Chains A and B, each alone.
Chain A
Amino acid sequence: MANTLDQIFVLLKHWIMGLFPSALQPIVGVLLSVVAIVAVFPGLFALTTVLERKGLGRMQNRIGPNRVGPFGIFQPIADGIKSLTKEDIIPVSADAVVHFIAPLVLVVAVFMGFAVLPMGRNMQLVDMDAGLLFFFAIGASTEVSIFMAGWSSRNKYSLLGAMRAVAQMISYEVPLLMSSVAIVMITGSLSLVKIVEAQNQYTWGLPHWYIFTPWGFAGFVMFCIAATAETNRSPFDLPEGESELVAGYFTEYSGFKFALFFLGEYLGMFSISGLGSTLFLGGWSAPLQVLQFVPSWIWFFSKVMLSIVVLIWIRGTLPRLRQDQLMNLAWKFVLPMTLLNLFVAALWRFMGEGWLRWIVCSAILIAVYVIAGRIGMRRGDFGPRTYRYAE
């Protein structure tokens, strides 16, 4: 019974495929999976917009939207109708072709990233041997669309926002990749399905998730920092800061294209949370061995939603980082720490089973973090505080 519930979508897909002649069956199978992804994730996106606005509102001591339905649940429908019926304004001197293509490229690239995420047992769209590489390659393509959006608007602020966003995304791409390489090294495969299956083992009832190892925990922290910067979320959202740069690179977009950019950004958030859950939190595997009767896709989606809630929480709490502080953080702190993490992961594997490796690896990571943090925090001495009063 539990197994049937677990595989219910796979069985459904096979049943529908069985209704078609055998020549068409592969195409129908792929189409069904694609339709499922295209239907589920924008639905989650709609839920997340309400969650974010109400959550941020509560954190800022106000109620979020509460007019449209009970507790404002139907707000996304109102938002959707608004963006579909708003007038689509293109500035006269804007580059019409590039202006039109930019949101399309973003949404296409982000949707392609969902193809390799294993959303449950046997529930990935494609089981690629180099799945992680495919995911990162697609993530790199989103930068081009952001640049196209910023440049085609012929607007100083858009261009500035686009340049900042692209520089930020490129700088944080390297730590993102390097913190995943430690996982690949220990698992021995780039395929996301195999990474999840390697984490699906239990010792004394506790799972073998990579986050419970010292290098996995450090890697997860750095992956979170890099992922927040990759999707331009606060505290790294200087390129689209509402109080800084009008709306950054999508200033000149209105109506449906703006909704497409918004969709692209939130879907990017989902896909990178999905990747983080797959790499570090065990994908679709249950937290305790006794809980394995709960279907695997419930675990995956709850982990993704938990990551989204944490992202919203961080957005409401931390102040924004300045551009040079952001870049300093990337190149001078996160990147050396990821390299050290790689070394520690190799040491872990080399030392063999036992309690010694826990102590050694944790000690190295904590020591370097404390030393680097202390040295980094020691800036010049501050002078005496001067006060200037308005006379």
Chain B
Amino acid sequence: MAVTVSARAVVRPRRLDRSRSAGLLLVFPSLLYLTIFVFIPVIKAFATSFTVRDRDDAGNYTYRVGLENYGQLVTSDTLRANIVFTVFIAVTSVAVVFVIAYVIALALRFGRGSSARFLGRIYIVPLFIPSVIASYAMITFLANHGFVDGLLQAIGLPDGVFPKIVFDWKGIVITQVWLSLPFMTVLLSSVLLEISDSLVESARDVGASSWQIFRHIVLPLSAPGALIGITFMFLGVIGGFTVPYLLGPNAPQMLGVSMVYYMTNYFEPFLASTQAVAIFLLSLVAAIYYVRQQFKREIR
């Protein structure tokens, strides 16, 4: 006699199996909010990206529907450079933060000395500093003829050798790292908490070195959770404005900055919307991955 067991029946006690309408009711307010303040503007942005504006010699405008804006994303040197630059910055920032945050998280999880406790206190500080302030602080800190340059020159570095960090991609990356460190560290720490001490101890008992434990136990077990943190941070950096505006080069620009310039200075709202959609699509890839990871863990 074949017995089919439905996974749902096993997991859910019946008394909590409420009607679907209750669930919908509870979700409704936030859904309403998001519809008015997010989804409708997003849809509008999508629609505007398909509006193509032509201009004649006398400066008169005519409008039509078309794909040329998207074509420009590919053909315009400036826009292409901006897209590449945006992805480059996002990937680099996330990679750097990941490495540093992982070290801190490992120290917090497995470390026992005063250094570990000290790390535990300071890594959280950037979370409490608004990004505008952090950007400004980084400018005074890392500019040419800024603090670090001054320090290095005081001990012998010749003038003009200090690399261009502010108003350069390096400035954006460093500031993003500074700002994102707390979030990533917090996330990675909580991920590492899942790895039980007994697992690590038994590995030690069979003679594994710390590196082996890291490489073969800690890293693989933390991967799913870590990847989620990475995608979340990636989303944040890709569409950012404040940090790239204050610290980035005049060209190329990250898409968030470029979008604003097109909108307000060049009076090209349609190209601006197109760039917004481009950022959205780039983020969507990451977002979908994030959600799928979440659901995978749920089924488990």
Q: Do A and B bind each other?
A: no
Which residues of chain A have a CB within 8 Å of any CB of chain B?
Answer: none
